Each structure stands twice: as structure tokens, then as C-alpha cells.
Structure 1
Amino acid sequence: MTSDKLRQVFEGQLNKYTNVMKGWQYRFFILDPETGLLQYYLNETENRQRPRGTVHLAGAVISPSDEDSSSFAVNSATGEMYKLRATDARERQEWVNRLRAVAEMHTLAIARSNPPLPPREYHSTQQSYSSALQGSRVTCTLAVLDAFSKVREQLFLAEQNSYSLSKAIESLPSTGTSTSTDHDLLILKATSAATLTCLSRCLAILQQQQLAPITTHSANVPLSLRSVPSVAVKKASQSTVGKISPMVNDVKTLACLPEHGNQGNNDLEDYVTDDESDGIEDMHLEENKAVILQILSQMKRGMDLTNVNLPTFILEGRSLLELLADCFNHPDLFIRIADEITPERRMLAFMEWYMSCFYAGRKHSFARKPYNPVLGETFRCCWKVPNTYDTDEKRDIVITFKAEQVSHHPPVSALYVECPEKELYLTASMCTKSNFSGMSVGVNFHGDFKVALASHNEEYTFNLPSAYARSIISIPWIELGGKVNIHCSASGYSASVVFHTKSYYGGKANQVSGEVKDSSGAIICKLNGEWNRNIEINYYDGKTKEISIPNLPIYRKRMRKLSKQGEYESRKIWRKVTQAIKKREFEKATEMKMNIEDQQRVLERNRQQVGAPFISMYFHKVGSTWAYNKK
């Protein structure tokens, strides 16, 4: 399809999913590439000056449905969604191609001039989108847009309840004390529908009241809003034909390079308390929103993000391997598992440690992405916990942590944590899979997770909840979701924890609930609360215990100084990228990050050419999992 054809006005009839009660309805749609607007009307003859609905396509995601060959969705950057259906697969493809072309064209225009986004619905025909690019602003803030989104969610829930009520009344018998034609029930049914209609119109009026445009000029826009690092986006979306560090220019030399470089010795006396901050705390998303929108416009709902290069300003300045280590910042709770004398108390101690891990690794309310570890990357640290059980013994109890990226396709991280004094060991091989879903990014963790208590001949198996980055075009925040199962086959004790998501139907964020059962299946306690605040445990004997997660004591990890770390240790690999991000030198950080990734691609190609397998530093593969190389 030629560019001239894509710039022509396109119109036609589509089915639009209106709501639960009305379902699919025929509507007449008009796509105007010049203004970037998609408008719809009740029918083809309706007054064109008063569309029933309008969305801007800048930053929109056009997603063909997996359910059939004719449906697709238009997800605007500000949350509005049209669920549409064409007559056949060919017509759907025609609409999808045109909508994506218009969305890309206007997203690039925003990236160049970076004006604020228009509101969710814009009914005025006096001011075109091109004038918006020249400096017109609206007073509708992201906070207001988010509020509108929450109201829509509640209206959707109310519509479902009204629909259920209507169906329940219609299913009543025609004779008897309560019938489907009862006068009061019919009034209730009509009142419910009328109330929803009234509320929907009130919401539309409130939205239109936010359209008070004011005039400004680019000279009044802060420099930070006009200097979007578009070069970084181009580099992030390019293939791997970038500059390669001189270290890896010679492929013959690569064949002779050791897999890991100098890893140094394992003497814990070289370890000192880590004095670096917990990542990069200030956010830079608002001034780079146009870049995010440009990336989102290229994504499809459900798309695997494993191979998607994201801009450096959303990175948090540490590797995923280090993030996993920070989950052990409450090592005293981990040690206590082995110190308890009964299977019941050990399971309860395990639960307390497990529930403390997520806040320890994710203390910040906003979401940032850690670096994807490169193949062979390692991270090592330890913690020292005062020995409070043996007053005669003054030495500290030491817990060591080792992690390594043992696979790149798929991405697999292997972990080994040990406390020899307590005969306590954790092993894990974790595969991460991320996907895009509208305005959220989800990460699923698959693999084997085990904690062994050698002194008690017990082994606990468990899994991890999924993590979601919500509101990725404003200030992203972390949410956990899914069900976790914990089991000890030796004692027969088990536990289950559900991480509740706020979801489409409302609710409260960060909620958890769970229960612990003994070997007979009887519940010995229940827990509920918030994984990042307070968790209350109610025991079967009536006792209650409350855990304040943010107030638990933090033990800072101990590491070797950067000068003594090996070339493949996380801090050494990413140090220059992290420094550039902290200085807000995002283009420089992007170039350095791409150099590291290009080096890894060259190493992998060379390995394949000579038929040499990857050799892990700390682990070896056993079936589908990875085991630690015990000396």
C-alpha cells in the first residue's frame, strides 16, 4: 500500500462492542490521517459535525484478536479502547494496516515536537490535531485521566451487575408470587438501566469540561521537554549492526578468551559492606513520554518482550541478578527457619521469610526495569548476622549468595544461597518471560525453587508470583499477582498465598491472603494484608501476630570492591552504563549498553562457529534445571 493511499481518508462500517447489555452494534467509522483522528457515527447519514466518539491515534496500539480472524482492538495511549469487528479477515487487515500507519505517523510527530497529549475524547472540530502539534495545550492532566479510567472501570462493573439483575428477573416464572412481569421488578430493571445511562452522560460532560485549551509557544516549554533523546530510540530499535568495542573486534581472539575472565578468589575477608545506593530513584518518564509512546505503538498485546530493547531512562541501574540478591536483605528471618524445633514452626518461619522477600527487593513504589544479565554474568555477595543463640560464640553467622546467567535463549538465572553453619541451602533456576498487555507489562517467573534444611531432612519447594508494571505511560508502579504454593514433602505441611491484583474490577492494590495446613490438611493459620506494608497472621488457637514489613531490620549485603571484581561480575559489566544513567546521559548509556550486548552476540556467534558449548562458572545442567557445582 502506497504512502499516498495511506494518507487518504478511509471510512466504512464496523461492528463496535458497546457494552455488556447491548453487545455488538453497527457503527460508521471515519479515519482521518491528517488529523490522526478515528471517529464513529451511528450511521453513514448522521451529522458529521457531531461524532458519537473520537480517539487520537498517537501512541495507540492496534491489536488483532486471537479469538477470531475479524476482530481487533484500538487501545489509545490515554486508556480509551474500541473493540471492533470487520466482516472478514481481509477487511480487518485493511483497517489494521491503515490505523497502524496513522498511529506511527502521529507518534513520530509527537516525538519530534513533544506536545502534551490531548484528552481521551476530543469533540471540537474547530481545532485540528496539527494545531495541537504547534503548541496548543489542554488542562486535562494524567491524574484526571487516571481518575476517568477508574470511573469507567466502576461503570463497567455496574453494567455487569445490571445485566445480571436483568437476566435474573427475566428468568423468573410467569406465574407465582414473584414473576418476570412483576410491576416492582420491572421498575427496578428500568431504573437500573436509566441510572447507568445518566452516569455515562455525566462522565462525558465531566470529560468535555476538561477541554479548556490555552495557548503557549515552544519558547515557554522547558528545555527538558523539548530535548527528547530521539536518537536513543532509533538506536534501541535498530538491529545489532552497531559499533563493537575494540575488545571484541578480532573474532580469532575471542576464541581464546576465557568464559569469565578473572573472577578473583573466594576469600570472604575481601568483602566489605556495600555502600552504593539501591538503584536510581528519580524518574525521568514525564519528559520522555513521547519516546515511550513511540515504543508502545510498535507493540502488540501479548507480545513477548524478551528481545525488545527498551530505552535506558527506564532502567534502574542494577542487574536482575543483584535484584534477586536484595530479596535476601532479611537474612535473620532466613536463618530462623533452621532454628525452629518443630515442622509447624519451621513452616511458619519459612512463610515469614518468604513474605518479606518481595518488599526487600522492590522497596520503591515506582517500577524500573533491571538490566537483562548477559550470558555468563555473575553476582556474588554475603551477609553477616550476629549470633544471638550462642552467647559464648562471638563470630557472626555468614550467608553467601551466588547467581549466574546460565542461558540467554531462553533467559535463565541460576541461584545458590547457603548458610553452612545452619545446614541451610537454597537452589533455584529461574526463567523470566515478559509480555505486553495494553498499558501494562507483565513478567512471569518459571523454574525450580527449593530450600533444603539438611539438619531436619526437609526440603521446601515453592514458586513466585507474577510481577506487573502498571500505568507505564505515567508513573509506573509494581503489582504482584497470582497464586503461590509452598510444600514440604517430608513433614506434609503446605501453604498457599494469593497475590490479589487491583484488576479491571477495582479493589485495593498489593493485597495478599493465604493459609498454612498441617500434614492432615487442617488449617493452622491464615494470613492477610499487604505484601509491602502489614501482614496479619491469625493462628488456629486464637493468637494473632502482625508483621510490619517496612520496619523489619535490613542487613546490607557485603561485596568485594569494584577493583577486585572479575570482568564478568554484574557491577563491573554495567558500571559505565549505570554512571551514565545517574548523570542523565541517556544517549551515552544507550550506546554503552548496546556495545555490551553486541559483544555478547559476537561471542555467541564465535562459540557456535567453533562448536564450543557455554561453560558455567558455578553451575551445571541437570535435565531441565541447573545445579550448583559443590567443591
Structure 2
Amino acid sequence: MDSNLYIMEMQEITNIVLTKPFSLRDDSDSEENYCAPNLLQRLLSLLKNVRPGSDLSRFQLPPLFNFPKSQLQCYGESIYSTASSDRLLSKCNTGQSPIDRLISVVAWSISTTRPPMFGTAPYNPILGETHHVSKGNLNVLLEQVSHHPALSALHATDEKENIEIIWCHYPVAKFNGRSVEAQVHGKRQLKLLNHGETYEMNSPNLFIRILPVPGIDWIGNVNIKCIETGLEAELSYISQSFFGFGGNRRLIKGKIIDSLTSKILYKVNGHWDSTVTVKDTNNSDERVIYDAKEVITRLQAPVVKDAESVWQTESALIWSELSQAILNKDWEKAREAKKVVEERQREVMRERESKGETWVPKHFIVSQSKEGDWDCLPIQKWVPPSPIVTL
């Protein structure tokens, strides 16, 4: 029995639970508090037997530490959940010159950095799980294409703008005694097909500080490069100090260079949860290229337009009972709902192994290079519209 048959068996569940994306903390319409009480104490108790340096990739969190959505949904939201007034992706396409387009791509890349919640994490997607949502002409599809490593693939297309986005991610989390750092491996591509330009970039890493002062942030270096023009952006995501104080919270610094001449064209500066500017090194002109308040506040949850057309593999359907239990803070029911999904997944895997069957992704061709890097090539040229939409 394959995972798709298993998911079809779950269709006694008719409720599709979709929750608001994460917005800025000062946004009055931001996400609800899904956490159980005494979260820090519970987290310390959970990690007390975990050795420093341990890989947490196979570590199972109880529902007390989950918020009501899958990791696939979190990846997808960073693409399709933007304020209705935001046109960052379109600006990437309409820039008059290569440097204008790269600057817009930098702004768009920053917009995919979303505020995380301390002490909580999304569900680990099951093999074959998908998430499919449309926003206007942009159609976004994700699939969990591997379980170990936990490899997630994303394909998004806009036929009107002639834009394609391909991501291939697998996070590796390690416990360091007083903190957890999740390195997000894999690459992201943004293709502006009208201009024949492909922009490759990576993701910052998620840093969770447990002691002495709890906190969570994105850190590390992000490189964005256009293969065809040689233009490149080097960004550094900088967190606050070890003790949780200081003025460098959620800081971004960087530069835009012409890699063919090594000339610095612009300096990048700001905070990803506030505003980010670029300064022209020729004339010192400075302008805002990204305003988080305009892009990631008052975000709305997707809605189901046609429930009968929702795929049986949809994240919001697979995890609906667990998500609803977390929203209701019914932790006993949440534990049972999570156990049902995870135990059934293990059973399906055992059945597949006993038959010598190999699971094959439905929407992507997955390959690994000699260096160990993963690639996820979409099977379809264009992602079809989804019965789940967001404004």
C-alpha cells in the first residue's frame, strides 16, 4: 500500500484546517497563541536528555510544541502570503535593467523571511504530502519528496508574468546545549523567463536560543546570483547578542556587486522585520527597497473554493484533526491525532519495504549530485490552479 492509498483512507476527515500565516509581532491581526502554558519549562524538560551536538532531524516533538500547520505550508506561505498591496514578485519582472531586477529580487528574497515563534515548530511532513495554493495568477505546489533526509520541493509559476520558482530544501537541526540551529540546506531558483534570467539563492538558518534569554531569529549568509548577468548580492542576517540584548536584532547588511569586475555597486542595510535600503556607491543615493509592514502584516489564511477538488495528499487535510485540536488546546486529542498519522505512515513504510517497492514522487524528479546536493526538477511546466486560494 502506498502513501497515497493511506491518505485516501483518511477521508473520513472532511474538515480542512487553514490558519493565518505568521505576521509581524506588532501586527494586531497576527497569529494566535497556539502554545501550551509553561512552554520554556516544558522545552527544557524535553531537551534535558539530549546531548549537545546531537542531530535533531529524527527528533519527534509532542503536539504541545507544534503550531497548527505542516512545514510544507510554512514554505508555501513565504511565497504566496503577502499583503494585497505588495507587488514584489511583479517588480522583479518589470525592472528596466539587470541591476534593477536584481535589486527587486533581493527585496523579494528578504520577503520570504518570516517571523518565527519561539518554542513551537511545524509538523514534519509525511512522504507524498502536498500543499497546493493559488494567489491570483501565481500557483504554488509543494511535495514532500523524501523522508530521510526530510526533503521538500516547491514549484510556483505565474503564466501571465512568465515567472517560475523552484526550491529544494532539507533542514538539519542540531542541539548545542543552550541553543538549536537549523541549517536549511538546498537551493532556491527564481526564473524571469521574459528576460532569460535565473537567480540562484540559498536560505538563512534558523537560530533558537533557549538560555540565558529565550529567542529565535534567522542568521547566516545568503548569496543571490544571476547566472546570465554576473550580478550578485551578498547578504548577512545578524541576530541580537548572546544575552538577547543589543541593537542588532534582525539586522541585514550586505552588498551588490558585479562579479565580473568585483565592483561594489550598492550597499544593503536594514532590518528584515522593518525596512531595508540600498545605497548607490557612485552617488550615495539611498532608497528603501523593502518595507516589512507593507508586505507581511494583516496576512489572511487561504480559503477553500472547491472542497471536492482538494487533493487527497493536501497538508491541511492530512493534519486537520491535529490542527483543530491544537487550536482548541485539546492536548489529549492532539496527541492521539498526531499518533494516528505518524503510526500509519510507519506502517505504510514497513509494507513498502517488505514488498521491495520504491516510492516515487508524483510532481518532481529528484536527484543527488556526487557532492551530495539535491535537485528537485518539476515534472509539469506550469503549476495548475488550486481549489485553495488566498487573496
**Is the pair's TM-score, using the shorter chain for normalization, greater than 0.5?**
yes
Query: In the alignment, which residue of structure 1 is the partner of 2:229?
Result: 491
Query: In the alignment, which residue of structure 2 is the partner of 1:212?
Result: none
CA distance in 1, matches of 2:35, 2:301: 28
Q: 1:574 to 1:259 in 2, by over 3 A?
A: closer
Query: In the alignment, which residue of structure 1 is the partner of 2:93?
Result: 338
Query: In the alignment, which residue of structure 1 is the partner of 2:209?
Result: 470
Question: Secondary structure of 1:512's partner?
Answer: strand
Displacement after TM superposition at 1:478 (Å):
2.1
C-alpha deviations, 1:304-361, integer Å up to 9, x for none?
1111122212211111111111112236211211111211111011011111211xx3
Question: Secondary structure of 1:430's partner?
Answer: strand
**Higher percent of residues as helix:** 1
CA distance in 1, matches of 2:351, 2:211: 38
CA distance in 1, matches of 2:287, 2:20: 32
CA distance in 2, matches of 1:472, 1:313: 20
Q: Is the 8 A contact 1:562 1:571 kept in 2?
A: no
Query: In the alignment, which residue of structure 2 is the partner of 1:481?
Result: 219
CA distance in 2, matches of 1:426, 1:335: 13
Q: 1:473 to 1:600 in 2, by over 3 A?
A: farther
Q: Is the 8 A contact 2:221 2:234 kept in 1?
A: yes
Question: Secondary structure of 2:102's partner?
Answer: helix
Q: Is the 8 A contact 1:260 1:376 kept in 2?
A: no
What letter corresponds to residue 317 of structure 1 in structure 2? P
Q: Is the 8 A contact 1:383 1:556 kept in 2?
A: no
Query: In the alignment, which residue of structure 1 is the partner of 2:45?
Result: 294
Displacement after TM superposition at 1:260 (Å):
5.8
Q: 1:553 to 1:327 in 2, by over 3 A?
A: closer
Instruction: Mark the runs of 5 or more structure 1 residues left unpaired by the alignment.
Output: 1-253, 263-273, 385-397
C-alpha deviations, 1:466-497, integer Å up to 9, x for none?
101223797x5321111111111210100100
Query: In the alignment, which residue of structure 2 is the partner of 1:612?
Result: 357
1:401 aligned to 140, 149, 157, which one?
A: 140
1:319 aligned to 62, 67, 70, which one?
A: 70
Displacement after TM superposition at 1:605 (Å):
1.1
C-alpha deviations, 1:575-616, integer Å up to 9, x for none?
111111112111221121121111111111111111211121
Query: In the alignment, which residue of structure 1 is the partner of 2:337?
Result: 592
CA distance in 1, matches of 2:117, 2:43: 20
CA distance in 2, matches of 1:375, 1:460: 29
CA distance in 2, matches of 1:591, 1:558: 26
Query: In the alignment, which residue of structure 2 is the partner of 1:383?
Result: 135
Q: Is the 8 A contact 2:34 2:67 kept in 1?
A: no
Q: 1:467 to 1:276 in 2, by over 3 A?
A: closer
2:173 aligned to 421, 431, 434, which one?
A: 434
What letter corresponds to residue 498 of structure 1 in structure 2? S
Q: 1:335 to 1:401 in 2, by over 3 A?
A: same
Displacement after TM superposition at 1:535 (Å):
1.6
TM-score by length of 1: 0.52
Q: Is the 8 A contact 1:380 1:559 kept in 2?
A: no
1:461 aligned to 179, 196, 200, which one?
A: 200
C-alpha deviations, 1:284-317, integer Å up to 9, x for none?
4543554323212111111111111222122111
2:5 aligned to 258, 261, 264, which one?
A: 258
- 1:523 counterpart = 2:256: no
Query: In the alignment, which residue of structure 2 is the partner of 1:625?
Result: 375
Q: Is the 8 A contact 2:34 2:329 kept in 1?
A: no
CA distance in 1, matches of 2:363, 2:76: 16
CA distance in 1, matches of 2:301, 2:162: 20
CA distance in 2, matches of 1:528, 1:471: 28
Question: Secondary structure of 1:592's partner?
Answer: helix
Displacement after TM superposition at 1:441 (Å):
1.7
1:550 aligned to 284, 293, 298, which one?
A: 293
TM-score by length of 2: 0.82
Q: 1:352 to 1:630 in 2, by over 3 A?
A: same
CA distance in 2, matches of 1:298, 1:418: 45
Displacement after TM superposition at 1:257 (Å):
6.1
Query: In the alignment, which residue of structure 1 is the partner of 2:56?
Result: 305
CA distance in 2, matches of 1:471, 1:345: 40
Question: Secondary structure of 1:598's partner?
Answer: helix
CA distance in 2, matches of 1:523, 1:424: 28
What letter corresponds to residue 379 of structure 2 in structure 1? N
Q: How many residues align?
A: 353
Displacement after TM superposition at 1:438 (Å):
1.9
CA distance in 2, matches of 1:440, 1:606: 38
CA RMSD for the aligned pairs? 2.8
Displacement after TM superposition at 1:522 (Å):
1.4
CA distance in 1, matches of 2:4, 2:294: 47
CA distance in 2, matches of 1:367, 1:533: 23
Question: Secondary structure of 1:258's partner?
Answer: helix
Question: Secondary structure of 1:620's partner?
Answer: strand
Displacement after TM superposition at 1:281 (Å):
2.5
Identity %: 25
